[in-house]
Amino acid sequence: MTCRELIKLFEQAFPSETALDFDNVGLLCGRFKKEVKKIFVALDATDEIIKEAITWQADMLITHHPLLLTPLKVINSGDGIGQKLIDLIQNDIACFALHTNYDVMRMADLASDVLGLHDGLVLEETIFLDGETRGIGKIAELPRFITLKECCELVKDAFILDNVKVFGDLDKDILRLAVSPGSGKSVIASAIKKGADVLVTGDIGHHDGIDALEKGLAVIDAGHYGTESIFIADIRDFLLNKNRNLEIKTARIKQPFQVR
């Protein structure tokens, strides 16, 4: 299977046109005619991940977060991203990103599924595609009222986390839950507008959290990585369902920080 053929499969499931305006998705470096047999899947194209992909002799590296998000004026070994591109190109590894197009077409549904939500609505609409409104995040009602403390346990179990950060009264009753994997500051207003009792997301700062709480919205910050690492296994399964002959290696799930 060539790189171009794989891209066609991704475009059918996660069209690049559904990505948000700021984004940079698709083939970021590599040859369209490259024959792809071994694919490494990760959340980020870190130095560690690229070294592992090279050692494993991967043909393609697929990440959620784009290696290139802003334009480069130079590509040389004096720059971190430049060196990564040099390493990838020298080892003939294609680098492909599925970011907000994946968020819109799949991530919101996937997060809802792992949380056990049903009949959810789009939290923040971004595009009308094929007769359906799609966008970032989902909002739905839980099967029954639970406390915010119980909701924290639900989130930890769903995303396989040791801890979460919480803004709110742990005894508060929760029924309507909004989830937006990744950085969720921008969807706080939508969550409030749509009547969410709690927002499950990541990257919530001090002021964002207390402002949301004062407007009646509890927030469970499960981390950017913590809420998006579900991407890795999902893309592995997607690829194997398309072609069982592909060899897929997935990055080990590991938080990029430590809590002491």
Question: What are the tens digits of pLDDT across the range 81-127?
Answer: 999 999 999 999 999 999 999 999 999 999 999 999 999 999 999 99
Distance CA 176, CA 191 (A): 10
**Encoding tokens for residue 160?**
């396989």
Task: Please list the residues that pair with 201 across neighbouring strands.
Answer: 221
pLDDT at 117: 95
Q: Spell out, as residue ranges, where the chain has pLDDT lower than 50.
A: none
pTM for the predicted model, two decimal places:
0.95
Q: What is the pLDDT of residues 33-63, one digit of tens each?
A: 999 999 999 999 999 999 999 999 999 999 9
Nearest to 179 by CA among 157, 156, 161, 155: 155
pLDDT at 258: 86
pLDDT at 180: 98
